[in-house]
Structure 1
Amino acid sequence: DPRVILPVMVCYDAFVMSHTYMQVDIPEQEAVDRFLPPFRSLWKLDLAYPFTHGSVIYPDDYEEVRFSMQQAMDNARRVIAEAAREYRDMVGGYHGELVDAYRMEDAEYALLAMGTVASECRVAVDELRESGYPCGLVRIRSYRPFPVAELRELLAPLRVALVIDRAISFGLEGPLFSEVKAAVYGNGGSSIHGMVTGLGGRDVPYDLIAENAVAAFQGKLPPGSHWPAVRLNEHHRLVKRSLEEYWKKEGVR
């Protein structure tokens, strides 16, 4: 799309997506052809119109180039939404635009997640509603551009939100947790908690999510990113003791 012209990175969960399988619906080729226009490269080598590709950008022009990339990323917000609606109309199937909201119409609480863990969150939301918590789910579909306006609208009326990260930004907290807090800063009084789990493809069952969601809703989670599934056992303690003994022998501790 000439409004964007930026590379796209499609990210998926390691192990959960790369080492498992499930049934999928493959659209008919005719529907795909209707949705996808014929590919025409906007950047190509053409002797009739010569210009430089990938050259060094000097300081006098670098900031303007970066500014144009930021404008293109802002344009992508509208393009992503348009493409999602066009896919729904031409092919069938709709999975949201920058976000996918589930049972958020009357929600007082919410779970926020990206990727495959959002499927478990949907089950957790249903369980929480059965237990009397009017909870919904906001699945983040686009990390860049980040859905700031959508999150500010969806989270404004909430009492509590729990952000589930399957990643850790070392030295800080879960990256999605940081982004969500920054996006809604100054936009109401909803309390936002973070949870890091499922690293390395470890299973994240819906009951673990629901249990920690209740703790968040009741104000019982500690500040920062909570790690509910860490289970240090005798093997970990033995390795730690062995390393400490070795370091002591070597005089490094």
Structure 2
Amino acid sequence: MLKQVEGSRAVAEAVARSRPEVICAYPISPQTHIVEALSGLVASGELAPCEFVNVESEFAAMSVAIGASATGARAYTATASQGLLYMAEALYNASGLGLPIVMTVANRAIGAPINIWNDHSDSMSQRDSGWLQLYAESNQEAADLHVQAFRIAEELSLPVMVCMDGFVLTHAVEGVDLPGQDQVDAFLEPYVPRQVLDPGDPMTIGAMVGPEAFTEVRYLAHQRHLRALEVIPEVAADFTAAFGRDSGGLIRPYRCGDADTVVIALGSVLGTIKDTVDELRDEGVDIGVVGVTTFRPFPTEALRTALRGVRRVVVLERALAVGIGGIVTADVRAAWSGEPFTVIAGLGGRPVTKKSLRALFADAVADRLEPLTFLDLKHDVVERELRRTG
């Protein structure tokens, strides 16, 4: 049913129709509206049976999710920014135990200085935590990805982060085709856990593993991630067949068939990039864009195929690896035979405009780009500060 709805509410309704049995929540902007909406659905009885657990911290939220999932419940939570960092220890426990928890990350910058606006610093900081990471381009895709995430998580017995841009998506009101309960029930079977903590049949999970076995444990986790590269497209294809929308998957090439230059990006900025690419195409510029939906595991082979024959690759990143530059760029480099250009853009919520992108892409096509570029950097400000601090 098409509905004008805030992105957070769309995600809450998609999660509710996935029938989680335990939701644990601690509020932090910009994810708060999601768990607020879910708490209302639980309180009204619309989402039942489900236990909504108010916790005292984000670490507690993930700990409750771990306990719930380990005892056989479908578990969900949400967080952002410093909240995700506060969960970090428990994130590794969830993935190491192979628990199919689904979590929304409403992407937000990490301080200091304090900044509540959008970039990808938070989820990128946890890229090696063992969680699958899916990035939504729009609110429609954010809602769709949550339904798919439960199925992916439970088929692989791995936790999944669905990342959606804070405020840009979470607080934007737009038309979203919300899936019906019968549709979701047909697509997402009841959760059947692979292992269950049961007082009637005691067992230990997460016990100490020494050097004689730890490499094998990590290798098996790696193999499950590689398996996800097969499962994610299969689930996306099944979703398309069931709901009539093409959503999810590994990557999304756009106007790349004959492109000399390809831009790679994640999240909501893809909309502005596509609009800019359309304008440049009308002007005769051979440029395309690849949206990366699945960042972990990284879709190396799929991206390699999409970039075959491309002369230039520009990676537009919403996070910065201080001291080196690009985060996504490092993975793109493994998939492409050339040397990608890295562009750091939109940090802390700074707008990424078509005007700036047009100038950037013109420089790329003319081979004027530096290996590392900070889009719309205020050079006078940084140069003054560098002089002041010596």
Query: Which TM-score tier does this pair reach, normalised by the shorter chain?
Result: 0.7 to 0.9
Query: What runs of 5+ residues in structure 2 fail to find an aligned partner?
Result: 1-152
In structure 2, C-alpha distance between the alignment counterparts of 1:140 and 1:76, rounded to whole Å: 15
The answer to whether 1:21 aligns with 2:173 is yes
The CA deviation at 1:108 is: 2.1
In structure 2, C-alpha distance between the alignment counterparts of 1:140 and 1:19, rounded to whole Å: 22
In structure 1, C-alpha distance between the alignment counterparts of 2:169 and 2:182, rounded to whole Å: 27
Residues 196 and 227 of structure 1 are in contact (CA less than 8 Å); yes or no, is this contact kept in structure 2? yes
Which segment drifts farther, 112-121 or 22-31? 22-31
Q: Tell me which residue corresponds to 1:226.
A: 373
Residues 108 and 160 of structure 1 are in contact (CA less than 8 Å); yes or no, is this contact kept in structure 2? yes
In structure 2, C-alpha distance between the alignment counterparts of 1:237 and 1:228, rounded to whole Å: 16
Residues 127 and 210 of structure 1 are in contact (CA less than 8 Å); yes or no, is this contact kept in structure 2? no
The answer to whether 1:142 aligns with 2:294 is yes
Secondary structure of 2:159's partner? coil
The CA deviation at 1:104 is: 1.7
Query: What runs of 5+ residues in structure 1 fail to find an aligned partner?
Result: 245-252
Residues 262 and 313 of structure 2 are in contact (CA less than 8 Å); yes or no, is this contact kept in structure 1? yes
One-letter code aligned to 1:220: R
1:199 to 339, 342, 347: 347
In structure 1, C-alpha distance between the alignment counterparts of 2:310 and 2:202, rounded to whole Å: 56
Q: Tell me which residue corresponds to 2:249.
A: 97
The CA deviation at 1:206 is: 2.2
In structure 1, C-alpha distance between the alignment counterparts of 2:384 and 2:287, rounded to whole Å: 42
Residues 154 and 191 of structure 2 are in contact (CA less than 8 Å); yes or no, is this contact kept in structure 1? no
Q: Give aligned-pair identity as a percent.
A: 33
- Size of the aligned set, in residue pairs, is 238
One-letter code aligned to 1:120: T
The CA deviation at 1:19 is: 4.0
Structure 1, residues 15-39: CA drift from partner, whole Å, max 9, x if none? 3234433332211111111111111
Residues 166 and 196 of structure 1 are in contact (CA less than 8 Å); yes or no, is this contact kept in structure 2? yes
Q: How does 1:109-188 map to 2 (within 5 A)?
A: 109-184=261-336, 187=337
The CA deviation at 1:195 is: 0.8
In structure 2, C-alpha distance between the alignment counterparts of 1:213 and 1:84, rounded to whole Å: 31
Give 1 or 2 for the bigger CA radius of gyration: 1
**Against the structure 1 CA distance between its residues 129 and 238, is the aligned structure 2 distance closer, same or farther, given a 3 Å change threshold?**
closer
The CA deviation at 1:110 is: 1.1
Q: How does 1:36-51 map to 2 (within 5 A)?
A: 36-47=188-199, 49-51=201-203
Secondary structure of 1:46's partner? coil
Secondary structure of 2:163's partner? coil
One-letter code aligned to 1:205: T
In structure 2, C-alpha distance between the alignment counterparts of 1:108 and 1:228, rounded to whole Å: 22
One-letter code aligned to 1:111: V
Which segment drifts farther, 73-82 or 129-138? 129-138
Residues 3 and 72 of structure 1 are in contact (CA less than 8 Å); yes or no, is this contact kept in structure 2? no
TM-score normalised according to structure 2 size: 0.57
Residues 84 and 97 of structure 1 are in contact (CA less than 8 Å); yes or no, is this contact kept in structure 2? yes
In structure 1, C-alpha distance between the alignment counterparts of 2:171 and 2:379, rounded to whole Å: 26
**Against the structure 1 CA distance between its residues 58 and 102, is the aligned structure 2 distance closer, same or farther, given a 3 Å change threshold?**
same
One-letter code aligned to 2:374: W
The CA deviation at 1:102 is: 1.1
Structure 1, residues 136-175: CA drift from partner, whole Å, max 9, x if none? 1100011111010011111121111211101101111121
Residues 162 and 216 of structure 1 are in contact (CA less than 8 Å); yes or no, is this contact kept in structure 2? yes
In structure 1, C-alpha distance between the alignment counterparts of 2:225 and 2:306, rounded to whole Å: 22
One-letter code aligned to 1:54: G
Q: Tell me which residue corresponds to 2:361.
A: 213
**Runs of 4+ more than 3 Å apart:** 18-21, 47-50, 236-241
Which segment drifts farther, 35-44 or 112-121? 35-44
The CA deviation at 1:2 is: 6.5
The CA deviation at 1:240 is: 7.2
In structure 2, C-alpha distance between the alignment counterparts of 1:206 and 1:238, rounded to whole Å: 28
Residues 118 and 139 of structure 1 are in contact (CA less than 8 Å); yes or no, is this contact kept in structure 2? yes
When the two chains are superposed, the root-mean-square deviation of aligned CA atoms in Å is 2.2
One-letter code aligned to 1:98: L
Residues 165 and 176 of structure 1 are in contact (CA less than 8 Å); yes or no, is this contact kept in structure 2? yes
The CA deviation at 1:14 is: 3.1
Secondary structure of 1:66's partner? helix
1:107 to 251, 259, 273: 259
